[in-house]
Amino acid sequence: MVNKQKVLIVDDDNNIAELISLYLTKECFETMMVYDGESVMGAIASFEPNLILLDLMLPGIDGYQVCREVRARYATPIIMLSAKGEVFDKVLGLELGADDYMEKPFDSKELVARVKAVLRRYKPAADPKPQPKDESVEYPDLTINRTNYAVTYMGKSVDMPPKELELLYFLASSPNHVFTREQLLDQIWGYEYMGDTRTVDVHIKRLREKIKDHQNWKISTIWGIGYKFEVKK
């Protein structure tokens, strides 16, 4: 019997939480619901979710603070849910560590599709056939392994949300190749993603905070175009 993937639903509106749970249960997910920010860390410890659906407007501790606290301890993917559709709100959520952002009201099919897409990126589906060789790239003091979603920098493991790791892997897999923001958005988030290119800038900023420039390589900004993983020859 295949273990069901678990989704933690955090929303102070009981009706919305129940509705989301119904959508996901029909798609064979196991769900747990909590209705305030204070309950999230305890729920993660007991339920061990594969993904968190996090409402932004929560009583007490809001979704931004919850996201910050979760990301400080766990790499569990987070999709933020909010009636706020301003670019600032989306960028802030992504900057704090969310992997995706959906505006309310949302379509049930799109919600389920995004949950599945984020989970696919975070943990490749089990395949009974022999696995190909590890998808990894190595540079001095840096190893990025996309097969097991692990990054080692200066001899230490670095925690990264799925999209950060995929963006770093994609750039490092094509050293000295310049990619536009649009190309990166399409490759990492998919053409159906509704965000804008500032999403890429936010993730690059977060990568640079974790992976500093090295004497042999660095993430370079190509002004007016995009980014490249620059390797000194």
In whole angstroms, give the CA distance from residue 36 to residue 55: 9
Distance CA 51, CA 31 (A): 10
The overall pTM is greater than 0.85? no
- Residues 181-192, mean pLDDT to the nearest whole number: 80
Residue 137's pLDDT is 92
Amino acid identity at 73: R
- Peptide bond just before 105 cis, omega within 30 deg: yes
Euclidean distance between CA atoms 61 and 38, whole angstroms: 6
How sure is the predictor about 192, in pLDDT bands with cuts at 50, 70 and 90?
Answer: low
Mean predicted lDDT score pLDDT of the chain: 87
Residue 84 vs residue 25, higher pLDDT: 25
What is the structure's pLDDT at 190?
Answer: 75
How sure is the predictor about 193, in pLDDT bands with cuts at 50, 70 and 90? low
What is the pLDDT confidence band of residue 1, given thresholds at 50, 70 and 90?
very low
CB atoms closer than 10 angstroms to residue 81: 25
Overall average pLDDT of the 217-227 stretch:
92
Distance CA 65, CA 58 (A): 10
pLDDT at 132: 55
Q: What integer is the mean pLDDT of 167-192?
A: 87
Angle at 148 between CA 127 and CA 43, to 5 degrees: 95
Show the domains of the chain with their CATH numbers.
6-122 (3.40.50.2300), 136-231 (1.10.10.10)
Give yes or no for residue 89 having a pLDDT over 80: no
Per-residue pLDDT, 131? 52
pLDDT at 43: 93
Q: What percent of the chain has pLDDT over 90?
A: 55
The tens digit of pLDDT for each residue in 95-150 reads 888 889 888 888 889 999 999 999 888 764 444 455 556 688 999 999 999 888 89
